[in-house]
Homo-oligomer: A and B are copies of this chain.
Amino acid sequence: MQDSLKLIPGNSLITATPEEGRLLAVTMARLIIKATQPDAGIRGRLRSVYSEDAAMLIAIGQTVATEFATISAANNYWKS
């Protein structure tokens, strides 16, 4: 992994709103893939695979859901 790669933008799990927390979950999931496969060309090719594969799209949703669970709890669910 590249030492300079940022895995969490802003180095914080705290966001102003649930929507921003959801975007952070998507970004964090993507940055792990980027860290594991740093080659942008290969990632682009893989994207054309998973974006048209129903099973992989569902699996991406599962990963985002797990990241979002953590972010939501960190923000105490934005309740108050």
Contacts and interface: CB of A to CB of B under 8 A. Distances in A.
Interface residues of A, number: 52
Interface in A7-24: 7-8, 11-14, 17-19, 22-23
A8 B14 contact: no
Contacts of A42: 51-52
Contacts of A72: 13, 70, 73-74
B22 A36 contact: no
Contacts of A63: 58, 61-62, 65
Interface of A: 1, 6-8, 11-14, 17-19, 22-23, 26, 28-29, 32-33, 35-37, 42, 46-47, 49-70, 72-74, 77-79
